[in-house]
Each structure stands twice: as structure tokens, then as C-alpha cells.
Structure 1
Amino acid sequence: MKLGLNTINDLPTDVARPSYDRGDLKPGIVHVGLGNFHRAHMALYLHDLFQLGRDHDWAIIGAGVRASDHTIRDDLAAQDWLTTVYEMDPSGDRAIVTGTMIDFLPVQQDNRPLISAMSGKAIRIVSLTVTEGGYYIDASTGLFDPTHPDMQHDAKNPDTPRSVFGAIIAALKIRRALDIPPFTVMSCDNLPDNGHVARATVIGLAQQIDVDLADWITDHVVFPCAMVDRITPATSDRERAMIRDRFGIHDRRPVTCESFRQWVLEDNFPTGRPAFHAIGVTLTDDVAPYELMKIRILNGGHAAMAYPAALLGIHFVHDAAHHPLIRGFLNKLETEEILPNVPPVPNTDLAEYYKKVIERLENPGVADTIPRLCQDGSNRQPKFILPTVRDQLARGGSINGLSLVSALWCRYLQGTDDNGAAIKIDDPSADLLKDHAKRAKTNPQAFLQLKVIFGDLADNAAFSSSFQRNLEALYTQGTEAVLKTYIG
């Protein structure tokens, strides 16, 4: 059965589907980045809200700014923008067909359809999932990078921008000229202070285009922070076959995910928002404690287990979570070096939160992969691991395990596992990383000289010496022996 509005009433009875009339929905949000995470997270939260019969004027118009978004648009158009979300849980699975997206804008290099849509009065929120590395921030400084080719292009060609941020500025300029209140820019990406980061990029680029407009954006546009969480692996033929065989549904872009989801949102929406409080979203004045907890315990845990698992030839995350050496390494690292650097979180027991993280990692149904966790280390290490290193050093604690994470990453970047099998390095800075990692085999400090990654830690004697000991041990003893030594 091909998924579409004409077949939605013929779905199996155990598949949830919209009880709302898609014809009654009106757009209120433009969302850029229609990957799996968005469709299993924000889009599903709105689906739950619409199921309550509420806020049908907050439907989503999808958009993309990359060439690959053409294919996503074509696939979703063929099924009337519907998506099957399959929640995998050891206690019972659940499939939901969602219909909160009612259109997907044509993808054009000059972004004219996107600018036009965001200029409309009905759009009150522009939301983003453009990946952690998609905000044009210099990792070595944490500041907006005006030298990036995309930003230089948009600064010179503000009416035909390449980036979503250039398009946002162009739309805000039109709204200001027409005296239409500005929309709220809501980042849903998994990075610290995502609202502040989005604001820095928009204003930083606007200052290159029009200082007066940049000042107006500074005074009138709001960028709330958010903490988002749900494990959503990439979709492959495996997932498509799973949906077909289990439910008889032909969905070109299904999403499989865990049953757990969390969304903590700064409640700052001058032009209004959906009733997020009615569907389990935590609304707060300060997202930071929740965000730091998640980034350090969950994302830091992902980064810590990814590279030793890859070096031991483990493919699935749940297998790694059950492996005694990986599990022992993660437990000791989290307990001794990560959790002590996580401040208290309202109404949250950090030990219980970590226990839940382990339960999520052990879920075999999700079939999340180690190669996915290994992706984009040049963006993830500086965000998820190295800040904890700095805090642990400041408090005088051991950084043996944290430096081992960096050493394992360096060893992984050599491109082979401990059995000699080839490893594909999936990172925008892959060539640079591999070059420094290969030189580090004989001179470990060569890897730390990646100042764009390590910054001041390259010159920290305690971190440098601990990293060197761990990397040399990995080469002389192998991953298994080094993990056994660390666990004790």
C-alpha cells in the first residue's frame, strides 16, 4: 500500500493516523531541514497537539537549502507529505502516520520560494534542524565566521542567498518594510545554546549586509534556546522493508526511532506559539541546565563509546552497550569524570538520568549504528567532550578517561580498526584530521596541534601528557588491553 491521503483510511488498525482533517490545517511554521530527527520529534509533537483538536493554524511548511533536499521533497510529495514514524521499544512498538507538514517548498539555489514563504504574515515561527555544524561558527573561537564562502556570497548577494540564514535575513527585511511583526527563529539542533548560536549567525551575517537591518533584528527578533532529544537512526532499505513487512506500508521516507523523546524549550515567543505545554514539552526560562545534562551525559557518552566500539569492529550501538569493556569504560568515565561536572537540574536525578541513557543505548529495536555516532567528530568533540575536560581540570579531577576518548578518536582516524579492517572517516574535515592523526603515530602532540579542535588544551601539560600516554598505549597494546587497564 503506497502511503498517501487516498490510502490513509485503509491502514492497518494498529497504525495510528491523523484524526484531524488535513484540509483544516493552516501554516504557522516554516521548518528548514526535513531530516529524520525533525519528523520524529517536532513534527510528532505537533501531530499530538493536532490530535487534541487544538492549534490547527500551526501546521508546518517544509523547506531545504541543500541540493540533496530535492530528493527528500520528491519522495514526500509522492505521499502527500505524510510520514510513518515507527517507535521501537522492548516493551512494545508503535507506528504513527503523521500529517503535520502540509507543503514542502521548491528547493532553489537562490532560495526565492523560501524567502517568499517566510515573508508571509501567517508564519510566526521559523524552525531549524540544519545539523550542529551548519551555523557557520568558527570552532576555535565560538564566534560567527564571516569568512566562510557561503557567508561571503550572501553578504554580497543578499537578495539571492545560498544559506538559510541569508534567506531569513532577506525575509525579515521584507517583513520590516511591510510592517509585519518578525517571526521567532527556533533552533532545534543538538548544540549548546542553540538559540544564541542562531542569533549570532543571523546578526553576524546581517551586519555584513546592512548595519541598520542588523540593529533592527537585534532589537526585535527572538531566538529561544531548546534542548531536544531522541535517537533517530538514518533510514535505509532495512527500515523501509521493516515498515513494508510489518504494516504493509510503502513509505519512501519512514523514520524509526526509540520511544523516548524530550523537548525543553525557552518560553519566549512574542508572536505566539502552539500549546506546547499540552503535549509534554517542558517550558522554562532557563534551558541551560537541561542542555548541559544531555550534552555531557548522553552526547558525551555517545562520543566516548563510538570510537572504541569502532576499533573493536562493533557495528550496532546496542551491541556496544552490552559489551563488557565498552560498558565498563562508559560507566567509569561517566561516574568519575562526567557526572561530577554536571550541575543540578530541576526535578531530575542525574544518576537516574544516566541509567535511562543506558537503557536507551541497549535498545536493539532502534538499531542505531556506531558509524553514525562516529560521524562529524570535528564538530562533536569540541562540544561534547572537551568542555568537560576543561571543567574537570579546573576542579583538579582526573582526566585519564576523557583524554582516552580523544586518543581513541585519534587512533580511529588512522582509518583501520584493531583487526586491520578499513574504516571510512565521515567528517567535513576528514583530510585534515587524517593527516594529523597519521603524524601523531610517531608524534602524539601533532594531533593536539589542531587548535581549531583543541584550542588551549593543546598547551595544557596534564591533558597533553595523559593523551600521549593513552595514544601510545593504544598503538602498543591495542584497544582491548587499554580499556581493561582503565577499568582496572
Structure 2
Amino acid sequence: MKDAISLNQNNLHQLPDDVVYPEYNRSELKTGIVHVGVGGFHRSHEACYTDELLGLGMGTDWGICGVGVRAADRKLRDILKNQDFLYTLIVKHTDGKIENRVIGSLVDFLMGCDDPASVIDRMASPETKIVSLTITEGGYNVDPATGEFNFDNPDAKHDLNNPLQPKLVFGYLSSALRKRRDAKIPAFTVQSCDNIQHNGDLTRKMLLGFVREQDPELAEWIEREVCFPNAMVDRITPVTTAADMDYLKNQVGMRDGWPVTCEPFSQWVIEDKFSNGRPGWEAVGAQFVPDVTPYEKMKLRLLNAGHTVLGILGSIHGFETIDECVSDELFAKYLRAFMDSEATPVLDAVDGVDLDDYKDTLLERFSNPNIKDNLARICLESSSKLPVFLIPTITENLKQGGSIKYATLVIAAWCYYSDKGVSKDGEQLEIVDEMKDALHRAAAGTSKEKLAFLKVESVFGDLVQRKSFTDEYSRMVGKLYENPDITQHMQALLNGRE
């Protein structure tokens, strides 16, 4: 093979024939979207939809300017800048087929921590119609005790008093919207693309909570003028590895300092509520609906909860990836039993979706051997995920008298996981969670008091007071501590013996 070709605008026409690249004129694009949080998911999802739209000649007003607000974002910015903000999307199919596609919708990348004024000015520019976000659950700065904006955060205190030097995304949004209001420029839409239920409503609540404290008159203007559409987003996007870059270099013949891998499946369901125009993403597969609630509930309670079930049980067993779990007949059968017996009965009807087909598709997606989605990533920040993905299914089944046994074993396993931090064979687990220490302390009390873990109220709410749950949980956690071979307990539940 010839020397690998470096990815940049000048070299696009020299790339191998099987690499798809943007043929639209990137220099003519206006940056109608400013996106905060340019991680792998944004680059496999919103940026990909936008690139497809640009390829149809339909979106010249919708180029994307990325924004990093943390010093940790600088490495990605530098790599992308060196590549003229181009990157490769490596789409891996279950049958081994790989599609390599260069994405061109990202046209700039600003570092807020280096030059906050540049970010505020770009957001305030009349050219900007949408500010979108993938800032993860933690980026919304929610006080777990009250559900309101957390003003105890030192960065929030700083932003209240330093509106032109913000550190949190809400400081940037408020300063940019203030400039637009004062200049009589129409408001932009604030569009969350995070995997959070009612993500638009949450963004609105947190921004208004912050702005009411900083500038009450601006808060009134935002309430009137700014739209925050809820959206359901979906595309499995594992962390980029050195092997992905080596594959491009050695097998494809191109150098990319930070490509993105993903599955072929992608879904985006959006409420059609925008302040100042929007791209025609429906032309490339997005769905615009009046109410996204049933779709996001379906996804959170089946896909995301399914990931959690496999992630926690699989970690204790000693698996490393999602596909490894699903290739085990017992884990696949257990997951389907959870989805059929516990998650589905408490879901709403979803217009245009056959839930059995959706679950079949999930199992097929999870089994993709070319998407090595690491369980450590799946279990990241579980304290933020379980209260959204799994615990509501338990509480709703408790109200309706439905089954809770499959989900309860996952909670018991999470206790063991948080306490011991090892698989059943003693292998150390990589646990990344803001509440890691608090969860460990609570779980460590299990040997003396079986319900100790459930007393972390910010995670479990009042579950510890629900006797029908605590009876089931106490029995399961006791057996698991006696015998950490999770497969025996899974099999017993499936056989109706536990």
C-alpha cells in the first residue's frame, strides 16, 4: 500500500475510491449551528445528519461551529483544526462490512476556556440559529436533592458575577442571549442532543434557574422567545481506539488523528419547536413530532436500561463488551425477559413503532461484534443513569403489581459492584462515577444491614420504604454476597426458582 494520505481539505480527492467524502463547497457554508460538547456522539449523530443534508444541497446555512469549554477539549480541537475540521466516521455493520465516510459539516471549533468572548460573539451572531448541546448529564448542573439549578457549584457562583468570563454552558447561553436581545436579533433555539428524558425541558429549567438569579429581565425575554425542543437521540458510538486509527492508516490508506466509530443504526426524534428556523433534517431520516415523550421513554426504558442490565451483570461476570454479553445465550435470554416482562408493560403506545420489532432490533444491534462497546463506558456515572433508565420501571411495576425480579437483581448486583469493585473472579473493575465514594460507603454496609445501599436517597428515592421491593432485594443481595456467580442467580430467576 502507498503511504497513507493525511486527512485535510486539499487531500479529499486523493482518498481511496471507497471512502465517501463531502463534495459540497465547505467554504460557502454559514455556521448556523454552534455546538457545545464535540464528543464522539455528536460527531456520529447531529453532525452526520447535517453532513447528509449538506450533501443534498439543502443546508448551506447550517454549518457547525464546535465549542469546547474545558481544557480537556483542546486536544480534539487541535487535531480537527489540523484536518480542516474533517474527520472519518467508521460505520461498522454486524456482517463485517465497514463504510468509511468523511464528515464535512463541522467547519470551526472555538475554545471557550481560552477565549470566552469568541464563543459568546459566535452564539450572538445573527448567523447562528441553533445552539446545540451534548454536555452529558453532569453538564446540566442539577442539584440532586432539589432538581433545581445547583448554585453551590463554584463555577455557577463565578458565572453569576462574571457574565463575560463564563465557565458553565449556561453562563455562555445567558451572555449570548443578552447580546442578541440588546441588539434586537431574534433568539436562537437551544437544542439538547443529550440522552436525557425531556432534555429540552431540563435545559430550559436549568437556564432559566440560572438567569433569573443573574438577570430577571433577561429571564422573562428567554421565556417568551427561546425554544427548547425535546428530542430522542440514538446511535451506539463506542470510544475511539488506537486500533481504529491503525485500521484507517494500514487498511484504508488515510491518516485521521481522531476518527469516530459507530453502528449503522441511527434515530433522531425531535419536537418541531424552533425559535429561528431549522435544518430540514427530516430529508435525511430525522422524525419531527408534536410530542417526543413516548419515543424517549421507549428508548430509555429498553435500550438504555438494557445497556445497564448487561453492563452491571456482565461486569460482575467478567465480560468486557456488550456484544460479548449478548453472544452468551443466558444474558440474551435474561435481557429479553426483563424487556418483555418488566419494561414493556409500563410503556406507552408509540405511534408507528412495533415494540417487539424494536426489541428484536436492539438485540441485533447489541450483538454487533464489530462495535466493541466497553462495559466500563456503559457503567460510567451509573448513579445518574439508573434513576432514569431502570428505577422508574421498578416503581411503576410496584404500583401495578407487575414483575420486578429481573430489575431487582440488577440493583443487588450494582450494590456488589459498588462495594467490591471486582468481578466474580477478582478482576478489578474500572468504576467512574461522581458518587463512587458515597455508593461504596453505602454498599459496604450491606454485610451488617442488607438495605444499607438503598439509603442513598438521591439515587433510590423512597424504594427503601417499599416492602415488596425490599423483601425481594434483601433476598437477592444476600444470595449474591454468598455466591457472586451472577449467572446462577440469573438462571434461577429465569427458571422461576428464586
TM-score by length of structure 2 reads 0.96
1:235 to 240, 243, 252: 240
Identity of aligned residues (%): 39
Quote how far apart the aligned CAs of 1:404 are.
Answer: 1.2
The CA deviation at 1:428 is 1.4
More divergent stretch after superposition (41-50 vs 239-248): 239-248
Question: Is 1:55 the counterpart of 2:59 in the alignment?
Answer: yes
Q: Is the 8 A contact 1:264 1:284 kept in 2?
A: yes
What is the aligned partner in structure 2 of residue 472 from structure 1?
478
The answer as to whether partners of 1:266 and 1:286 remain within 8 angstroms in 2 is yes
Q: Which runs of 4+ in 1 moved over 4 A?
A: none
Aligned to 2:438: 432
Match of 2:36 in 1: 32
Question: Do the aligned partners of residues 97 and 245 (structure 1) sit closer, same or farther apart at CA in structure 2, a change above 3 Å counting?
Answer: same
Q: Distance in 1 between matches of 2:39 and 2:182?
A: 33
TM-superposed deviation, 1:324:
2.2
User: Of the candidates 172, 197, 202, which is equivalent to residue 197 of structure 1?
Assistant: 202
Is 1:2–1:251's contact at 8 Å kept on the other side of the alignment? yes
| CA displacement at 1:480 relative to structure 2 | 2.0
Aligned partner of 1:288: which letter? T
C-alpha distance in 1 between matches for 2:7 and 2:443: 47
Residue of structure 1 equivalent to 2:426: 420
Matches within 5 A, 1:75-474: 75-91=79-95, 92-108=97-113, 111-413=116-418, 414-474=420-480
Q: Where in structure 1 are there 5+ consecutive unaligned residues?
A: none
Kept in 1, the 8 Å contact 2:69–2:111? The answer is: no
Moved more, 9-18 or 148-157: 148-157
Looking at structure 1, the residues matched to 214 and 494 of structure 2 have their Cα atoms a distance apart, in angstroms, of 54
The SS at the match of 2:401 is: coil
Q: CA deviation at 1:147?
A: 2.4
| Counterparts of 2:463 and 2:150, CA distance in 1 | 22
Q: CA deviation at 1:477?
A: 2.2
Aligned residue type for 2:400:
R
Shift of 1:112: 2.0
Q: Indicate if the aligned counterparts of 2:229 and 2:272 stay in contact, CA closer than 8 A.
A: yes
SS of alignment partner, residue 68 of structure 1: helix
Shift, 1:110, TM fit: 6.5
C-alpha distance in 1, partners of 2:144/2:409? Answer: 21
CA drift at 1:441: 3.3
Task: String of CA shifts for 1:348-391, please: whole Å, max 9, x gaps.
Answer: 00111010000000001111111111111011011101111111
1:65 maps to 2:72: no
Whether the 8 Å contact between 1:17 and 1:97 is mirrored in structure 2 is yes
Q: Answer yes or no: is the 8 Å Cα contact 2:225–2:275 preserved in 1.
A: no
| 1:25 Cα deviation after fit | 1.0
Cα deviation code 1:92-151 (max 9, x no counterpart): 321110110111013426722211110111001000000122111133443332322222
The one-letter code matched in structure 2 to 1:339 is T
What is the one-letter code of the residue matched to 2:453? F
| Residue type at the aligned position of 2:121 | S
CA distance in 2, matches of 1:447, 1:165: 34
Task: State the secondary structure of the residue aligned to 2:191.
Answer: strand
Partner of 1:482: 489
* 1:86–1:96 Cα contact (<8 Å) kept: yes
Q: Partner of 1:27: helix, strand, or coil?
A: coil
Q: 1:12, 1:367 → 2: CA distance?
A: 25
Superposition pairs of residues 37-48 of structure 1, within 5 angstroms: 37-48=41-52
Contact 1:437 1:446 in 2 (8 A): yes
What is the rounded CA distance, in whole Å, between the counterparts of 2:408 and 2:144 in structure 1?
Answer: 19
| AA partner of residue 82 (structure 2) | A
The answer on whether the counterparts of 1:109 and 1:162 sit within 8 Å (CA) in structure 2 is no
| Partner secondary structure for residue 240 of structure 2 | coil
Contact preservation (8 Å) 1:69, 1:107: no
Shifted more, 396-405 versus 337-346: the winner is 396-405
User: Post-superposition shift, 1:444?
Assistant: 2.3
Deviation at 1:433, TM superposition (A): 1.4
Offset of 1:160 from its aligned partner?
1.6
**Equivalent residue letter for 1:173:** R
1:485 alignment partner, SS class: helix
**Which is further off, 457-466 or 61-70?**
457-466
Contact 2:148/2:209 (CA < 8 Å) preserved in 1? no
Q: Secondary structure of the residue that 1:6 maps to in structure 2?
A: helix
Q: C-alpha separation between the residues in 2 aligned to 1:348 and 1:373? A: 25
Tell which deviates more after alignment, 227-236 or 206-215.
206-215
- What is the deviation of 1:443? 1.7
Q: Is the Cα contact below 8 Å between 2:187 and 2:275 reproduced in 1?
A: no
Counterpart amino acid of residue 468 in structure 2: A
Alpha-carbon contact 1:110-1:161 (below 8 Å) kept: no
Paired residue secondary structure (2:270): strand
User: Hey, what's the Cα distance between the residues in 2 that align with 1:57 and 1:107?
Assistant: 23
Query: Within 1, Cα distance between the matches of 2:332 and 2:22?
Result: 41
Q: Deviations over 1:247-268 (max 9, x none)?
A: 1111111001000000001111
SS at match of 2:461: helix
Distance 2:87 2:464 in 1: 46
| Paired residues, number | 488
